[in-house]
């Protein structure tokens, strides 16, 4: 995954009927390490490393493919075992994408995520060291049921909405992020995927589930709906406040891109030494919804 990190400052000067041309000398910024590291219950850690691009860089698949960081030393520890991760690649549309995970040829120190545990991350790259910690919380907010019904006020009878009923335990501080997987698609997070419990604390409630969004594809009006015949897997992950704050500020940044009147937002990461990104833990539960034709 690739992030563009920059501050856009619009300046409007109005003086009577006069206009003044203002030229900005935009400097090239030094690339920074961008980290997307996750660990989930019953799954191994996954770390994606790349380099940031300048705000006005021309972005295409080739540029993104060459932004990955290779040959870094990446270590994840659960307090008892420390495993050195191995770099892997896979092909998407004739481009190679890269990530680090457990070394399948050396499983002596390998482990998967566990509920209610803390983990540490250490990355060494080009003589610099970066660290972070993450925790997988317990599964506190639970899904009671998932179902579908005809999309209201929609002429297309093929469109349906998915709904979830969940229970939030009493006491503030339960944070979640959700994803959906439709048919053979991968899991995608919703455009607004993270939520706290300030309003629904201690209650059972029903909400519509929007399909996850591929942010590399053009958005469509129908993204609030699923189709008859879809098989949908709903993934609800309990997260801690650090992961919540990262995605809350990141998604606010996504939403404000291209809006010169939006308030600048600082994305709240948790990687040391000036790196961008986050290390997050996910306590996940899965529910499958089969929508008949």
Name the residue range of residue 170's domain.
139-244+284-293
In a domain, 43, yes or no: yes
What's this model's pTM, rounded to 2 decimal places?
A: 0.85
What is the tens place of the pLDDT at every residue in 171-227? 999 999 999 999 999 999 998 999 999 999 999 999 999 999 988 777 665 578 999
In a domain, 216, yes or no: yes
Does the CA dihedral 192-196-200-203 come out positive or negative? Answer: positive
Tell me how crowded residue 276 is: count the other CB atoms within 10 A of its CB: 17
How far, in Å, are 21, 139, 176 from residue 262 at the CA level? 23, 35, 26
Q: CATH number for the domain including 106?
A: 2.60.40
Q: Give dist(CA 197, CA 169) in Å, integer.
A: 9
What is the tens place of the pLDDT at every residue in 157-166? 899 999 999 9
- Tell me which of 77, 109, 136 is where a domain ends: 136
How far, in Å, are 64, 180, 199 from residue 188 at the CA level? 19, 6, 25
Regarding whether 143 and 124 lie in a shared domain, the answer is: no
Residues 6+ apart with CB under 8 A from 130: 33, 35, 121, 122, 123, 124, 271, 272, 273, 275
In a domain, 260, yes or no: no
In a domain, 100, yes or no: yes
Instruction: Specify whether the CB–CB gap between 100 and 74 falls below 8 A.
Output: yes
251 Ramachandran zone, left/alpha/beta (phi>0; psi -120 to 50) = alpha
Which pLDDT does position 265 carry in this prediction? 82
Name the domain count of the chain.
2
């Amino acid at each position: 995954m690739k992030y563009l990190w920059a501050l856009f400052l619009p300046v409007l000067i109005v003086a009577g009927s006069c206009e003044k041309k203002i030229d900005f000398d935009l400097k090239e910024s030094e690339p920074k390490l961008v980290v997307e590291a996750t660990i989930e219950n019953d799954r191994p850690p996954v770390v994606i490393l790349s380099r940031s691009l300048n705000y006005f860089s021309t972005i295409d698949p080739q540029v993104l493919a060459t932004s990955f960081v290779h040959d870094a030393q990446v270590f994840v520890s659960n307090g008892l075992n420390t495993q050195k991760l191995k770099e892997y690649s896979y092909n998407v549309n004739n481009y190679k994408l890269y990530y680090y995970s457990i070394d399948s040829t050396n499983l002596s120190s390998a482990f998967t995520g566990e509920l209610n545990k803390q983990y540490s991350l250490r990355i060494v790259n080009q003589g610099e060291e970066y660290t972070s910690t993450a925790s997988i919380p317990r599964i506190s907010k639970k899904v009671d049921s998932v179902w579908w019904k005809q999309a209201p006020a929609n002429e297309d009878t093929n469109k349906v909405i998915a709904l979830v009923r969940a229970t939030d335990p009493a006491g503030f501080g339960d944070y979640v992020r959700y994803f959906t997987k439709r048919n053979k698609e991968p899991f995608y997070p919703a455009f607004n995927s993270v939520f706290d419990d300030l309003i629904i604390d201690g209650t059972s409630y029903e909400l519509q589930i929007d399909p996850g969004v591929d942010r590399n594809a053009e958005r469509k009006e129908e993204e609030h709906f699923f189709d008859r015949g879809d098989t949908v897997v709903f993934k609800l992950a309990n997260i801690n406040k650090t992961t919540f704050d990262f995605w809350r500020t990141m998604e606010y940044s996504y939403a404000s891109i291209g809006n010169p009147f939006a308030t600048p937002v600082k994305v709240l990461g948790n990687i040391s030494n000036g790196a961008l990104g986050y290390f997050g833990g996910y306590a996940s539960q899965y529910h499958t919804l089969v929508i008949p034709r």
